[in-house]
Structure 1
Amino acid sequence: MTPPFIDNRCENVRVDDERGEVPVNKDALVVGLALFAMFFGAGNLIFPPYLGMESGELWPLGLACFVFFDVVVSCVGVFAINNAGGSILSIQNALGKKAGLALNTAAILCVGMLIAPPRCAATTFEMAIAPWFGDTIGLLPFSIAFFAVVLLLTLKPTRIINVVGKVLTPLLVAGIVVMVIAGIVNPLGPVGSPETDTVVADGVLAGYQTMDILAVVGFSILVQESVRAAGYGEKRDQMRVTARASLVACVLLAVIYGGLTYLGATSASVVPHTVSQAELITMIVWKLMGEAGVAVLGVVVGLACLTTAIGLCGATADYVERVTMRRVSYRAALIIVVVAALLICNLGLTNIIALASPILSVVCPPFMTTVVLLLFRKHLRGTWVFEGAALAAVAASLLLTVHDLTGAFAFVEAAPLYAYGFAWLLPSVVGGAAGALLGRRFDSAASG
C-alpha cells in the first residue's frame, strides 16, 4: 500500500456547467489515480502471481475472489466511510466508542507496525538485495539500515518523500505493464491444472493479506480532503466525485492484478513451486526481461517499500499520540513502532506472511463487515446492528482461526461457505439481525 501523495493545487476548481460532468470526470480521474497509488504498493506485487501459479487454469476464479475481497470491498469502503462522515470517528460512531477504538487500533497496528512495515523491509531484501548479493548482506544489517532511514525521514519529513512517491508510482506501474505485456506476447509456459483444492479460499486469504481493507479509514480521509480542495463544497457533489474516483481505482487495480495473476499461472511449468512469493515475481521478471529487468524491479520495489514504510510508521505514531491524549509523544511512539517493526522483520518474509495470516483472519472480517454496513447507515437505527454483526464476525473468525491452527473444532468445517474461506459471513448476518431485533425491543421499551 503506497502512502498517499495527493496534489491539492487545484483549489479553485468549480463546477462550471449545470451538470458539471466535465470537471467532475476530470477531478474523479485525478483523485482515482491518487487512490490507486495509495492502495497499490510493492507488497501487493507478491500475492497475485503466487495465487496464479497455485490456481493454474482456475486463475480467473482465484483472481475474482482476490479482487472482490481486496479491491472491491476496499474501494467501496472508501465511499462508505466518506458517506458516513469521512473521519476515523465513523467506525467509533457505528460500533460505540470502546469497540470502535479497539477495532481501529487493531487495524492501525496491523497496517502500521506488526505486519506491513516489516513486510516492506523483508520484501525489499528478498527482491532487491538477495538476488544480487546472496548471503553477503544479511537481513539483520539490512533491516537496521532500512528502518534507520525510515526513522530519520519520519522524524523530520522532507520533500524527498513526496518526490519519491510521485515518481515511483508511475515507474512501478509502467514496469508492471511492460512485464505483463511481455508475458502475454511471449508466455512463460502453458497454464496447467491447479496445484491446490482451495482456489477460492486462497483468493480470499490473499485479499486479506494485502491489508488494504484495514487502511480505508485513513485513505478515505485523504480522498475527502482532496475532493474538498478541488472546490466541491456540497456533500452530494463530493460523493459523486468519490464514487467515480473509487471506480477508477477499482478498475486499474483489477486490471493490473489480473495481469500479474496470469503471469503466475503461465509460470507454473517453468519455476519450482518451492519458491516464496517474492522469489516468484523476481524469477518471472528475470525470465521475461533478463538481468536488466530484475535490476530495475529491485530498485523501484525497494524505494516504493521504503516510502510505504515511512508513511505507515508515521501514521501509526500519529494515531498513538492522538488516542493517548499526547501522553505518548509522536517521537516516542515512532521509536516504539520502528523498533517493533525491525524485530518482526527479522523473522523473514515467509514467516511474516505466516504470522499475518491468523491475525488478519480475525481482524479483517469485523472490520470489513462494519465498513460494508456503513453503506446502509441511514437505514440502520443506532449501533445495535453494527455491534451485533461485528461481534459475531469476531467470535466466528476467532473460532475458525483457532481451528485452522490446531484442528480443535472440527465441527466448523460443516459451516456454510467454510470451503470458500468466509464461514464467518453467516454468523455476521445472524448477529446483525439479532442486534436489529434487540435494538427495536430496547428502543420500544425506552419510548414506552
Structure 2
Amino acid sequence: MSKDLKNILITGMALFSTFFGAGNLIFPPTLGYMAGDKWGYIGLGFLITCIGLPLFGIMSVALSGGKTEDLTSKISPTFGKILCSIIMLSIGPLFAVPRTGATTFELGVLPLFPNANSIVVSIIFFSITYILAVNESSVVDRIGAILTPFLLITLGIIIVKGILFPIGTPVNTNIEGAFSKGFTEGYQTMDALGSIILAQMFIGDLFVKGYKDRKTQINIIMKAGIVSSVCLGIVYLGLLYIGGTASGIADQDFTRTTILVFISQRLLGNSSKIIFGGAIAAACLTTSVGLTATTGNYFNKLLENKISYKTIVLLACVTSAIMSNYGVESIVKLAIPILQIIYPVVIVLIVLSMFSKYIVNKGIYSGAVYGAMIVSLINSLNSAGITYVFSDAIKMLPFYEGGFSWILPAIVGGIIGGIFFNKDKSK
C-alpha cells in the first residue's frame, strides 16, 4: 500500500470516528419514521447537513490557511472568538454532551431498569466523564478502539436484517417539505459546527506526516472525506430506511430514543436491550469525554490559563449533568433557537471560503455573514414565540417555508459588503 493511500484510509477512518457520534444515531431512524415512503427525500437533506457540510467545513479551513482562526477572522478576530465560543458551548456542556448522558439513560439504562432515576445516572455518568477527561487518559482511546467496531457490527446486523427482513412497509405519512426537514434536522448533529473547530487537528496531523503543501493537504482531505462519507452514508441511509419501515406499525407518540429501542427490539429481540443499549451507552461515554476535554482545552487557551483546565472540565461536567436531566427531546428543542442562528452563519462562511481564491474583498464575507445572521436571529426569535416588526416581512422572503430564508439576505449582504466595505478599490 502506498504512503498516500495508507494516510487517506487512516484519515478517512479518523474523520468517520469523529463524526460518528453515538448520540447522532437517534436522528436517522426518527426521520425515516416521520417520512415513511419519502425517507429518501428527507435522507438527502440530512446527509447534506451531517456529511457534506462537515467535509466542506474541514476543506474550507484548509483553504483558508489551516487554522480555525484563518476562517473566522475573515470577519474579525473578535467575531471569530465569539462564534467559536458559542460553537464550543453547543457541542460541549449545553447541548451535545448533555445529550450523550440523556441518550445513555433513555437507551442504555431505562429499558433495563424502568424505575431508574435520571439524576443518579447523570451524576455517575458525568463523574466518570470528569475523571477520564481531567486526567486526559488514554483509556478513552482504547475503549473507543474497541467500542466503535463493536457498535458498527451491531448496527450492521440491525441494518442488514432490517433490509432483508423489514419489520413493515414504508407508508405515506403526508409529511411536507421532506428535504428541508431533513436538512434542518441535520443541524442537531452539530457536525458542521464541530468540523471548523476540529479541522486544524486533522490538517496538523497531515502536516506532521509530511504533507506541508496546502494543495496536497486538500487533496488528501478530499479523498479521506470520500472514505468517511461512504461509511457514514451506509450507516445513516440504513437507519433512515429501517425507520421508514416502522412508519406504518409504530406508535405515533414515539420519541427519538423510543423509536430506536422499538426497532432494535423488533429486529434483535429483547436481548438488544443489553447488547445495543450497552454499546450505545459506552460509546456515548467516550464521546462525552472527548468533547468535554476539547471544551476544557479550548477555553483554557482562550482565557490564557486564567482558569485552569481542571476547573473548566469540572464546570462543564456539572452543567452537562444538570442539562442531561431535561431528556433528549427537551435538549433538542432547547438547541433549536441557537442552531437556527449559527448554522446559516457557518454555512455561509464555509461556502464563501470554498471560493476564497476568487474572493479577495473581505467586505463580501462580512456582508454575507451578517445578512444571514440577522434574518436567522429573527427566525430564531419567531420560533421561540417572540415576534418583531420585521417578523412578517421575513416570512415573505424566498425559501422561508423550507427554512432557508437567510439565503437571499446573505447574497444581498455580500453584494453590499463588497461595494461599500472594500478598502482597496482596485480589488
Regarding TM over 0.5, the answer is yes
Cα RMSD (Å):
1.7
For residues 138-167 of structure 1, what are the alpha-carbon distances to aligned partners after superposition, in whole Å with 9 as ceiling and x for unaligned? Answer: 110100111101111111122211101111
For residues 231-263 of structure 1, what are the alpha-carbon distances to aligned partners after superposition, in whole Å with 9 as ceiling and x for unaligned? Answer: 323333222111101121122212211111001
Q: 1:32 aligned to 2:4?
A: no
For residues 101-157 of structure 1, what are the alpha-carbon distances to aligned partners after superposition, in whole Å with 9 as ceiling and x for unaligned? Answer: 11111111101111011000000100000001012x211010011110111111112
Map 1:44-443; keep pairs closer than 5 Å.
44-135=24-115, 137-406=116-385, 408=387, 409-440=391-422, 442-443=423-424
CA 1:414–1:92 in 2, change beyond 3 Å: closer, same or farther?
Answer: closer
Matched AA of 2:82: A
Matched AA of 1:431: G
Secondary structure (helix, strand or coil) at the match of 2:356 reads helix
Matched AA of 1:422: F
CA 1:133–1:126 in 2, change beyond 3 Å: closer, same or farther?
Answer: same
Structure 1 stretch displaced more, 308-317 or 84-93: 84-93
The number of equivalent residue pairs is: 424
Q: Distance in 2 between matches of 1:330 and 1:268?
A: 46
CA contact (8 A) 1:56 1:193 kept: yes
Q: Distance in 1 between matches of 2:117 and 2:357?
A: 54
CA contact (8 A) 2:296 2:313 kept: yes
What residue in structure 2 maps to residue 5 of structure 1?
none
CA contact (8 A) 1:397 1:424 kept: yes
Moved over 4 A (4+): none
How far apart are residue 352 of structure 1 and its match? 0.6
Q: Distance in 2 between matches of 1:323 and 1:306?
A: 26
Matched AA of 2:234: V
Unpaired segments of 5 or more residues in structure 1?
Answer: 1-20
CA contact (8 A) 1:91 1:104 kept: no
Q: Distance in 1 between matches of 2:373 and 2:8?
A: 35
Secondary structure (helix, strand or coil) at the match of 1:419 reads coil
Matched AA of 1:239: I
How far apart are residue 281 of structure 1 and its match? 0.8
CA contact (8 A) 1:403 1:410 kept: no
For residues 416-439 of structure 1, what are the alpha-carbon distances to aligned partners after superposition, in whole Å with 9 as ceiling and x for unaligned? Answer: 111222111121121112111123
For residues 394-447 of structure 1, what are the alpha-carbon distances to aligned partners after superposition, in whole Å with 9 as ceiling and x for unaligned? Answer: 10111112222327324433221112221111211211121111233x323xx8
Matched AA of 2:424: D
Unpaired segments of 5 or more residues in structure 2?
Answer: none
How far apart are residue 372 of structure 1 and its match? 2.1
Matched AA of 2:54: S
CA contact (8 A) 1:25 1:244 kept: no
For residues 350-369 of structure 1, what are the alpha-carbon distances to aligned partners after superposition, in whole Å with 9 as ceiling and x for unaligned? Answer: 11111011111111110121
Q: Distance in 2 between matches of 1:385 and 1:321?
A: 32
How far apart are residue 382 of structure 1 and its match? 4.3
CA contact (8 A) 1:187 1:266 kept: yes
Secondary structure (helix, strand or coil) at the match of 2:369 reads helix
CA contact (8 A) 2:375 2:394 kept: no
Q: Distance in 2 between matches of 1:116 and 1:273?
A: 26
CA contact (8 A) 1:168 1:303 kept: yes
Structure 1 stretch displaced more, 419-428 or 108-117: 419-428
What residue in structure 2 maps to residue 10 of structure 1?
none
